[in-house]
Amino acid sequence: MSIDEYGGGQGPEPDVLVVTTDDVPGHRVERVLGEVFGLTVRSRHVGSQLGAGLKSLVGGELKGLTKTLVQTRNQAMERLVEQARARGANGVLAFRFDVTEAGDVGTEVCAYGTAVVLARE
């Protein structure tokens, strides 16, 4: 797998800066707009389940499932950024992911944080 297939995050100059911290060095929070989130639920297909089951017998990374989870997280983050942008934010602080099983049908991934308007100091 290439780095693009198992990596994520933002490019070098995003219009909405997403950080895991509560502040951004060199910036001040002008306005807090509130919580934003991006949510997606991905179902598993039979082929990946069978492959994962066989791979678990011999050990090692489940590359197909890893790739699917990366795509799912990236989609959740894109939705979070869209929501923040729609509210007029240029930043999201305290960004986190929450991953849970959605019954026996798939995986729910929620990206969440606090939408803010940042200004350079």
Q: Which of 94, 84, 98, 108 is nearest to 36 (CA)?
A: 84
Q: How do 17-18 and 91-102 pair as beta strands?
A: parallel
Residue 81: Cβ-neighbour burial (10 angstroms; 0-12, 13-18, 19+): buried
Identify the three-state secondary structure at position 34. Answer: strand
0.85 cut: is pTM over it? no
The model's pLDDT over 50-86, given as tens digits with 9 standing for 90+, comes to: 555 555 666 777 777 778 888 899 999 999 999 999 9
The model's pLDDT over 51-61, given as tens digits with 9 standing for 90+, comes to: 555 556 667 77
Predicted confidence band of residue 17 (pLDDT cuts 50, 70, 90): very high
